[in-house]
A and B are shown apart, each in its own frame.
Chain A
Amino acid sequence: MIFGRGQKKKIKIVDKGVEKWIYSTCGYCSTGCAIEVGVNAEGKPVASRGVSGADVNRGKLCVKGIFEHELFESSGRGDNPLIREHTHEGYSETDWDSAFKTMAAEILRIQKTWGRDSFAIVSTGQLLTEEFYTLGKLTRGVIGTNNYDGNTTLCMASAVSGYKRSFGSDGPPGCYEDFEHTDALIAFGSNLPEQHPIIYWRMKEAQEKRKFPLIVVDPRVTALAQSADMHLPITPGTDVVLLNAMMHVILDEGLEDRDYIQANTNGFEQLENEVQKYDPVTASKICGIDEDTIRTVARLYAKAGSAMSIWTMGINQSTHGSDGVVGINNLNLVTGNIGKQGGTSLSITGQCNAMGTREWSSCSGLPGYRYLENPEEREEIANFWGIDSEFFPKQRGLTETDIFPAIETGEIKGLWLVATNPMTSMANTARIRKTLAKLEYLVVQDSYADVETTQYAHLYLPAATWAEKEGVFTNTERRVNIVRQATQPHGNSKSDLWIFNELSKHFPQAKKPEFPEAPAEVFNEMAELSKGRLVDISGMDHDKIEQNRGIQWPYTEAQAERGEAPKPGGKRLYTEDGTFSYADGRAKLIPLPFIDNNEVPDDDFPYWLNTGRVVEHFHTRTKTGKLGNNNKYSPIPYMEINPDAAHELGIRQGEYVRCVSRRGDAVVMAQLTQRVPPNMTFIPFHYHDCVNRLTLGLLDPHSRQPAYKQSAVRIELLADQKAAAKMSMKRRDF
């Protein structure tokens, strides 16, 4: 061996000089990883690491979290408010006070001219819960528009709707600890390794300790599908058929949990009648899964001591998204797999605080899972806020996906976008462009001044991002965890909470709610409002949340007063018989007739277009596209295409192709892989001016969530490859 010859060399290894680690919660997906930001002597964030003692991630982070500290300094951040009169003019910088004055004046003008609801607000799943709550208060209690929604309509609305329909309330009943107890796991349209790598790791850890069968339902051979014991490559958009057929087998063979059904559900007979129609033979012709496999999986699931289902956008983003969720709930109810260890119906949520917005933003109702439709709940909130309950609408207004058409039809004239990027994220973006161009007034509030929507805005408000401010997120397993401030906001940007609070001062109402300044005070308001609700967080406060590395709700004031420490994990909902959120405590079994209204491939558009995410990017790439160590793994738009299909079209690896749908076209680089079937392509949705130029996005009747994953396209090889490459490059120039 040739060891250190001569004098042993001194070794130099990078030392970033971290002086202090600041506790926070990751601001990307909803896994809710506890993260520490390392700050050096100059106070600059230079490192990130997972918090070892946090139950969710136990010291681990994914590729995005590991570089999250680089976000603060990433390019394109906004420094100052920008203003212009017409969208064809350039922006000029302005101060915050003038910005608020103009904004409030414009909102009031539009509302005065066209009615209160003619100004719409679309927010996000990215803000801190205190900010959501405050925005809700501002919208419902001061501005008073009923056309207020979050972009969670694009990702979680079907889960929300499905939970509400089945259980009487939103709120995922399971937790990550369920992996450690389950005897069978089905993942419907959920690719944990790319979408939620840390949840995948928790599952893998559980599997390595105690092997349980994993069944993956996905049209693509995803990383999870590849590691599954059984992969069911389903025909897009037919999950309800598969679920009905599974229940058909279960009921046919008497494998259901009669006691559980009797004690906990209504509507069993109607369900039984409906699933009668879905014998495995009939179903297999529709969903593409052979009858034997349907039977095997149904038996496995029903016979397992406890069985759990997880799902993500494969279910949510379809025309029967809500039905798909209800179907999964049905399956778990008839097999008695709700509220028990390893038995659950767990929606794996999307954004870091999709849950927070669902709970507290008042988007679809009022704070704390309250409904506008419920007069007592309107009264309760109005009193709490110190306003007249008549100020509230009596019914929920438009969802995000209905707000845009309402701009088209002229009902809505002004829009305020908060931390969302519909020009990349909404289906059929050509239509969205036209829609935004129609607005009399558009305000964009975002951490990035180069977010595409600023092309159509009249006012841009630079917001602080993530750990430049303080507050809480709620994750997939209902864990409230805290983001502490690690650094000052970039430039002259401000926290969203400050922006909402300051803006509220510019509205002239006589009876106005209080707007506390400190996030901790806002949290205490929410805690007060949560007492006795399903989402009871009254036992928590900011410091306690950090000490416990996040606390799952419910954690009540009574528990806290008793000195009962929050459980580190494993908290479930509906663990007792008859405790569902419907008045009678019973869940509903809802029959699900299948209507196939999807755009399916035909002679002119012969390929399914499937969309989804990749692990290194988050949503519309406004953040991860800036960070080389995230972005480099997929820096330009591409599509997966089956090599057999590619050969027929004369497409070679790495060539640029044009995908055409009935809506528009997109230029992408072809990646030939057998991961997709010969009649399907897959294009990640992160890229601007790409896949959502093609998608149809039919809306789910219950959740109003768009079906992104079922469209039809044709594919053409581009003759001028160089021009195509240049065009692809210019589409998003950071």
Chain B
Amino acid sequence: MFQVRSDEPKYAHLWDQETKVENRYGKKIETAPENDVLREQDFIINDEIQQQQNPNRYKQHGFFLNADNCIFCHACEAACSEKNDNPAHIAFRSVGFVESGSYPAYERLNISMACNHCTDPVCLKGCPTRAYTKFAEYGAVLQDPDVCFGCGYCTWVCPYNAPQLDPVKGQVSKCNMCVDRLEVGLKPACVAACLGNALDFGVIENVPENRSQAEVSIPGFPSPDITQPNIRFQQTKTLQREVTRIDDTPIKYMRNDDTGRYESVVDDKHGHQRQWNLGKLLSSHENAHALFTLSVQASMGMFVLLLLGSEIQQSAAFIPLLAMMLVLMSFGLFKLLMHLGKPHRFYRGFNNLRLSPVSREIAGVSLFFAGLAGYSFFSLFSYPLTILAANAFAIIGLLGFAAGSFYMYKLYRIPARPFWDHWQTATAFYATMLSLGSLIIAWFTVGFMTTPPLKTLSLIAAIGIAIQSLGFYFHARYLKRGTGEGGASHYTQTTVFGNTYYLRNALFGLNLIALSVIAVYGLNSVTMGIVLSISLLVAAYLERILFFAIVIPTTMPGAFFWKNQGFVEHAREIGLAEREQVGVVYEGHHKFNLKELLQTVRENSIKDIILHVRWIFTGK
């Protein structure tokens, strides 16, 4: 039990006397009706069964921020980090700010933000390991770092920057709503610590004493439509029409006079100079994702094309091609695995098959890999039974391909990441299968066949490149027309990475022309073949790494140093990140902890494993 002092101040106590029945979206505020099974199961904190003291335990709670009052004093952040014993680089709650007006009619709006314990928790749905639970108790969305394997997908989908991926520990942790305090009738630590009388907490839709508003949005806060966050705001002080961010993100907010809402628009704060920034791309932590998707897509493309091309199946190129696909898949999966914060927990990737596109992607890709491996193995023989087996594995491979490739695309359709949330992601991914798949096959056919089907392969690759280019066109149009973060991504790709971006476009154009020519006239020059191949590979890599590097999430405004991505990058580049007290750490790879894996294996019986699998599928 959290220890309550005999003289605990009044402001630290929860205050809800009456509560509403439904929230503004028409959802019940009561999380579990009387006698519901969820009420009967023990609520255990630190191995201690909590005796229900809080009469509102089974109601959705949420934070309340009176943004007029927030003074950026960091007391909430400090109280949170003190309670949760967080190191400097991790914060469950952060204060950022936006500014408007000019001296002396200047206004700064400070926004203190933690987890909003959303009604529709995208983190929970996205997490492949099922580390997240939305508890009936207080409607708290809690995450278990001991389950997490550190993929960071929740940090991609959350619009509020609530889950914190710790590059040191290689796992995510987040706001726990201080449910231990709630159990004894106290508000969360951050609220009790607030020095501006800005933060409050209670049953959702209840308006604290002396407060008159309960808005769902303030300038700088992402659209509440994505997750139905359980936070309410008061903000009565008027700001100017234009509200700017001080952090590095090229976003500002403009008031829409029709709705009164502030909408994000591009802020061209980095100027219009076109740069390469290739170093940034090449050293990006996101290369793991780029190489994983590229190699898996290449392999998938090859697999499908091979199954369709009986001529190649019967050629000497067949076995080397199978080997190549296995190599590519192994490489891709290795990259994916080793980018995890806890790679040895890889098997948990299937836990959330019922909800998470990441789990489904992992399952699909694994299935594909299994199909490919079986198909490859049985293709080495030519007995009737092995042929049958090879065909069976081919079908498994195709099923894996269908599921894996679809969810590989689907998982990037994240509303909080408008740059990705477009059908172009699909064209890019599937077209890559065509172009890279046929490119690799082409090389093997050149090596192992007397009459390599270069014209056909070039045509397939050309179709891929054409589809992808069409995707680029519509994507750019969508980004330019759309407001906010998508536009900011486009601004970044045409300025910060401008030269690289235009090089990518030029390469795609040239490649399309070259491939079309070959598709019609064939190819006789080896040099030309090498040049085109390099051009295709470079274009594919640039496309993919830009895809990952440029995305700008709809997230909370940061401050000047703290929660400013620009400063984080600067601190890493200059070496400030070596100092623990700067609050920035380096990203790095984590070792595969075989010991932990073996321990898990030892500690779990076959029965446990069966139970676990049942849990994955039934949820029970």
Is A15 an interface position by the 8 A CB rule?
yes
- For A617-653 the 0/1 string (1 means CB < 8 A from B) is 0000000011111111111101000101000000011
Whether A3 contacts B136 in the complex (CB less than 8 A), given A11-B45, A675-B108, A729-B574, comes out as: yes
A201:B197 contact, CB within 8 angstroms: yes
Name the B residues within 8 Å of A3 (CB-CB). Answer: 31-32, 38, 133-136
A233 to B106: give the CA distance in the assembly, Å.
12
* Measured CA separation A4–B139 after assembly (Å): 10
B47: interface (CB < 8 Å): yes
Q: Residue of A at shortest CB range from B86?
A: A629
Residues of B within 8 A of A204 (CB): 69, 195-197
Residue-by-residue, is B15-47 near A (CB-CB < 8 Å gives 1, otherwise 0)? Answer: 000000000000100011000001001111111
Tell me the chain B residues, 444-471 only, with Cβ under 8 Å from chain A.
none
Query: Chain A residues with Cβ under 8 A from B135's Cβ?
Result: 3-4, 8-9
Please encode chain B, from 547 to 581, with 1 for each CB lying within 8 Å of some chain A CB and 0 for all others: 00000000000011110001100110011100111
Partner of A221, one of B11, B103, B195: B103
Chain B CB within 8 A of A545 CB? no
Closest residue on chain B to residue A724 by CB atoms: B574
Segment of A168-176, A223-231, A276-284, A312-320 engaged in the interface with chain B: A223-231
CB neighbours of A225 from chain B (8 A): 104
The verdict on A671 contacting B79 (CB below 8 Å), with A198-B195, A221-B104 known, is no
CA A644 to CA B125, docked complex, whole Å: 46
CB distance from B409 to the nearest CB of A (A): 24
Chain A residue with Cβ nearest B582 = A635
A434 to chain B, nearest CB (A): 30
The smallest C-beta distance from B134 to any residue of chain A, in angstroms, reads 5
Q: Is the CB of A632 within 8 A of B9?
A: no
- Chain B contacts with A in 102-147, Cβ cutoff 8 A: 102-104, 106-108, 119, 121, 124-125, 133-136, 139, 142, 144, 146
A63 interface residue, CB < 8 Å from B?
yes
When the two chains form their complex, are residues A616 and B74 in contact, meaning their CB atoms are under 8 A apart? yes
- CB within 8 Å for A208 and B210 given contacts A193-B72, A616-B74: yes
Task: Kindly report which residue of chain A lies nearest to residue B352, judged by CB atoms.
Answer: A5
Least CB distance, A678 to chain B, in whole angstroms? 7
Tell me if B381 is interfacial: C-beta within 8 Å of chain A. no
Q: Tell me whether B386 is interfacial, beta carbon within 8 Å.
A: no
Q: Name the A residues within 8 Å of B99 (CB-CB).
A: 673-675
Main secondary structure of the interface of B (DSSP, over half): loop
- The verdict on B481 contacting chain A, using a C-beta distance below 8 Å, is no
Residues of B within 8 A of A58 (CB): 9
B interface residue count range (under 10 / 10 to 19 / 20 to 34 / 35 or more): 35 or more
Cβ–Cβ < 8 Å partners of B514 in chain A: none
Q: 1/0 per position for A57-81, CB-CB distance to B under 8 A?
A: 0111111001100000000000000
User: Which residues of B sit under 8 angstroms from A653, Cβ to Cβ?
Assistant: 246, 248, 269
A13: interface (CB < 8 Å)? yes
Interface residue range, chain A: 35 or more
Residues of chain A with a CB closer than 8 A to B615's CB: 6
Give chain B nearest CB distance to A32 CB in angstroms: 15
A567 in the interface, Cβ–Cβ < 8 Å?
A: no
Instruction: Name the B residues within 8 Å of A678 (CB-CB).
Output: 103
Query: Considering only CB atoms, which chain A residue lies closest to B562 in the complex?
Result: A633
B197 surroundings in chain A (CB, below 8 A): 201, 204-205, 208
- Indicate if B193 sits at the interface (CB-CB under 8 A): yes
Assess whether A47 is interfacial by the CB under 8 Å rule: yes
Interface string of A199-230 (1 = CB under 8 A from B): 01100110010000000000001010111000
Q: In the complex where A52-B8, A675-B106 touch, is A15 in contact with B46 (Cβ < 8 A)?
A: yes
Indicate if B82 sits at the interface (CB-CB under 8 A): yes
Q: Is A583 an interface residue (CB 8 A)?
A: no
Is B101 on the interface with A (CB-CB < 8 A)?
yes
Q: How far is the CA of A221 from the CA of B44 in the complex (A)?
A: 48
**Which single member of A60, A636, A652 contacts B193 (CB below 8 Å)?**
A60
* A275 touches B (CB below 8 Å): no
Beyond A3-B38, A226-B106, A653-B246, whether A52 also contacts B196 by CB under 8 A is no
Decide: A734 and B101 in contact? CB cutoff 8 A: no
Report Cα–Cα, A632/B89, bound state, in Å: 8
**Contact B42 A674, beta carbon cutoff 8 Å:** no
Residues of B near A109 (CB, < 8 A) are none
Using an 8 Å CB-CB cutoff, how does the interface string of B50-89 with A read, 1 for contact, 0 for none? Answer: 0000000000000000000101111101110111111111
B529 close to chain A: CB less than 8 A: no
Instruction: Report yes or no: B83 in contact with A14, Cβ–Cβ below 8 A.
Output: yes
Q: In the complex the two chains form, is B580's CB within 8 Å of A11's CB?
A: no
A562 at the interface (CB under 8 A from B): no
Known: A4-B134, A5-B133. A193 touches B71 (CB 8 A): yes
In Å, the complex CA distance between A63 and B94 comes to: 13
A7 pairs with B82, CB closer than 8 A = no
A628 in contact with B179 (CB, 8 Å):
no
**Is there an interface contact between B103 and A675, defined as CB atoms closer than 8 Å?**
yes
- The closest CB in chain B to the CB of A733 belongs to B579
Q: Is there a chain A Cβ closer than 8 Å to B620's Cβ?
A: yes
Which residue of chain B has its CB nearest to the CB of A672? B246
Cβ-closest chain A residue relative to B45: A11
Closest to B574 in A: A725
Which of chain A's residues have a CB closer than 8 A to the CB of B436? Answer: none
Question: Distance in Å from the Cβ of B464 to the closest Cβ of chain A?
Answer: 39
In the complex, whether A86 has a CB less than 8 A from a CB of chain B is: no
A8 B42 Cβ-Cβ under 8 A:
yes
Q: Are A628 and B583 in contact (CB under 8 A)?
A: yes
Question: Which residues from chain A contact B286 at a C-beta distance below 8 Å?
Answer: none
Q: Is B192 on the interface with A (CB-CB < 8 A)?
A: yes
Question: Is residue A162 within 8 Å, beta carbon to beta carbon, of the partner chain?
Answer: no
Q: Known: A634-B561, A635-B581. Is A674-B106 also a contact (CB below 8 A)?
A: yes
B241 to chain A, nearest CB (A): 15
A1 and B561 contacting across the interface, CB-CB below 8 Å: no
> Do residues B619 and A197 form an inter-chain contact, with CB atoms below 8 A?
no
Known: A11-B176, A66-B193, A722-B574. A52 touches B87 (CB 8 A): no
Q: Is the CB of B136 within 8 A of A4?
A: yes
Q: Do A66 and B582 have beta carbons less than 8 Å apart?
A: no
**Please, how many angstroms separate the alpha-carbon atoms of A58 and B82 in the complex?**
19
Q: Is A615 an interface residue (CB 8 A)?
A: yes
Chain B residue at smallest Cβ distance from A633? B562
Task: Decide if A635 touches B193 in the complex (CB within 8 Å).
Answer: no
> Quick one: which of B75, B134, B179 contacts A197, CB cutoff 8 A?
B75
Inter-chain contacts of A1 with B (CB < 8 A): 27, 31, 119, 134, 139
B318-353 interface bits toward A, Cβ cutoff 8 Å, 1 = contact, 0 = none: 000000000000000000000000000000000000
* B-chain residues with CB within 8 Å of residue A616 when the two chains form the complex: 74
| Least distance between A221 CB and chain B CB atoms (Å) | 4
With a cutoff of 8 Å between Cβ atoms, the chain A residues found around residue B71 in the complex are 193, 197, 200, 223, 227
Question: In the docked arrangement, what's the CA distance between A283 and B192, Å?
Answer: 45
Chain A residues positioned under 8 Å from B8 (CB to CB): 52, 59
Q: Is A676 an interface residue (CB 8 A)?
A: yes
**Are B74 and A13 closer than 8 Å at their CB atoms?**
no
Interface flag for B540 (CB, 8 Å)? no
Q: How far is the CB of A689 from chain B (nearest CB, A)?
A: 16
B residues in contact with A677, CB < 8 Å: 103-104
Residues on B with C-beta less than 8 A from A59 are 8-9, 11-12, 192
- 13 chain-A/chain-B pairs, Cβ below 8 angstroms: A2-B121, A13-B179, A52-B5, A52-B9, A53-B7, A59-B192, A226-B108, A233-B103, A635-B582, A654-B570, A674-B103, A677-B103, A726-B574
Nearest first, the 3 A-B pairs at minimum CB distance are A628-B88, A632-B583, A193-B71
Binding site for A on B (CB under 8 A): 5, 7-9, 11-12, 27, 31-32, 38, 41-47, 69, 71-75, 77-79, 81-89, 99, 101-104, 106-108, 119, 121, 124-125, 133-136, 139, 142, 144, 146, 176, 178-180, 192-193, 195-197, 210, 246, 248, 269-271, 355, 559-562, 566-567, 570-571, 574-576, 579-584, 615, 619-620
Known pairs A6-B615, A198-B195, A671-B560; list 19 more (Cβ under 8 Å): A2-B121, A3-B134, A4-B135, A5-B620, A8-B38, A8-B41, A9-B142, A12-B144, A47-B82, A61-B193, A197-B75, A628-B89, A629-B583, A631-B88, A652-B269, A673-B106, A674-B106, A678-B103, A725-B574
